Amino acid sequence: MKPITIRDIKVFVTAPHEINLVVVKVETSEPGLYGLGCATFTWRYKAVVTAIEEYLRPMFIGRSVHDIEDLWQSMMGSSYWRNGPVLNNAISGVDEALWDIKGKLANMPIYSLFGGKCREGIAVYRHADGNSPEEVEEKIHQYMEEGYRYIRCHMGTYGGNFDGTIQKMSHPENAPAGAYYSSRTYMQSVIRLFDRIRSDIGWDLEIMHDIHERLSLADTLSFVKELEQFKPFFIEDALPPEEVHYFEYLRKQTVVPLAMGELFTHPVEWKTLVQNQWIDFIRCHLSDIGGLTPARKLAAFCEQYHVRTAWHGPNDLSPVGMATQMHLDLASPNFGIQEFAGFNEAEEEVFPGCPQVRKGYAYLDDAPGIGVDFDEKAAAKYPPVEMDFSWLFSRLEDGTAVRP
């Protein structure tokens, strides 16, 4: 095998959708050969950039691009303390770029390196949100006309605090600013919304909902059981990672399919859940668990326990990261569904080769490697932006700070 080494590792931050995306470019000793990876932790992107530029880059210049597993293990272990979102995202950027290079050297799309396609298209789901049931229904109809058959339904995003449909919440004097929500109002609003969707739109549409880990254990159980009547495709992130053991009780008392994992960063968070079959879908964010190398192993692990994949695919994920997930979607027998936020024209300009979606299915272009490129000149037109962090400062009605 011809020796090819890492010549340089570069990091770019670009915001073609007003969201800061972190892209890693691994350049090699072979002229014109490079790989791209996603390292987007948009809420702490500067820390990720520093970790790559100051620690990973000096460590790996001159190393062989062929030894992905060894390089991944070295990145994970070399900081001693491990499995945190900043370092995992830094690792992911390099790891995915190395897989991109591997595919280009083989002249194959990455899914071919994993054994080839299990399906031709990738079923995706979109998000329908709004400030009223009417707005949500309008968005659902729009997606259905575009061919989508799976839709995640919300009202007021993650908290039930939306205008025109509920009473105003009461806060104590001098309550600090924050993203306030009422658990009780939130639950009631979702039940009403789902009842209306089934009554007005029917039962042919697959619907899901994201609790976003915002309820107490007792409220979660009561809420999920009440949602059973609407036959959701799944309920997402019912509990926080710190309380995954409670899924044992949840699983025993509801038949609703459960999806979990958006905030996972460490194998101890998912191993017991999967082995005990307390969940039906694994929803990790690939860059937050360290990239494609650990995600392949996780998908195979889940397959043994009949847990399907539903990788996290928000708008704070670069097209490189989305395409990487879709290669796993194509090659995994236990693929379930893929979250998809869509791309705007600026993203497609910066990232030539974006996956295309037609009638609810995503398709890759079968180019070698990941198949998505990166236009550095176009990216420079969309520099990092000051983002709105307000939704992350969640509070209960009385002002108590809680996790979003």
Q: How far apart are the first and last CA of the chain?
A: 49
Give 182's pLDDT tier (boundaries 50, 70, 90).
confident
User: Tokens standing for 282?
Assistant: 């694994």
**Domain presence at residue 400:** no
Q: How is residue 392 annotated by DSSP?
A: G
Count: domains in the chain: 2
Which residues are known to be catalytic?
158, 212
Q: How is residue 278 annotated by DSSP?
A: -
Classify residue 255 by burial, with Cβ atoms within 10 Å: 0-12, 13-18, 19+: exposed
pTM: 0.95
Residues 23 and 39 in one domain: yes
Q: Could you give the 3-state DSSP secondary structure of residue 125?
A: strand
**Measured in whole angstroms, how far is the alpha carbon of residue 260 from the centre of its chain?**
11
Residues 304 and 215 in one domain: yes
Residues 254 and 358 in one domain: yes
Going along 77-147, which residue ranges are E strands?
Answer: 122-128
**Domain presence at residue 324:** yes
**Domain presence at residue 399:** no
Residues 309 and 343 in one domain: yes
CA distance 348 to 3: 34
Give 397's pLDDT tier (boundaries 50, 70, 90).
confident
Where a domain ends, among 109, 143, 171?
109
**Domain presence at residue 393:** no
**pLDDT score for 137:** 96
Classify residue 166 by burial, with Cβ atoms within 10 Å: 0-12, 13-18, 19+: middle
Q: How is residue 403 annotated by DSSP?
A: -
pLDDT tens across 17-29, in order?
999 999 999 999 9
Residues 135 and 255 in one domain: yes
**Domain presence at residue 297:** yes
**Measured in whole angstroms, how far is the alpha carbon of residue 112 from the centre of its chain?**
23
**Domain presence at residue 389:** no
Q: How many CA atoms lie within 13 A of 134 on its CB side?
A: 3
Residues 223 and 266 in one domain: yes
The counts of H helices and E strands in the chain are 14, 16
Q: What is the CATH number of the domain that holds 184?
A: 3.20.20.120
pLDDT tens across 250-281, in order?
999 999 999 999 999 999 999 999 999 999 99
In degrees rounded to 5, what are phi and psi of residue 140? -60, -45
Residues 166 and 26 in one domain: no
Residues 29 and 120 in one domain: no
pLDDT tens across 78-125, in order?
999 999 999 999 999 999 999 999 999 999 999 999 999 999 999 999
Q: What is the CATH number of the domain that holds 26?
A: 3.30.390.10
Task: Share the mean pLDDT of the chain.
Answer: 94
Q: How many CB atoms neighbour CB 145 within 10 A?
A: 8
**Domain presence at residue 258:** yes
Residues 64 and 148 in one domain: no
Where a domain ends, among 109, 141, 168?
109
Residues 165 and 104 in one domain: no
Residues 130 and 245 in one domain: yes
Residues 59 and 132 in one domain: no
Instruction: Give the structural domain span for 136.
Output: 112-368
**pLDDT score for 103:** 98
Do you know the residue count of the chain? 404
**Domain presence at residue 382:** no
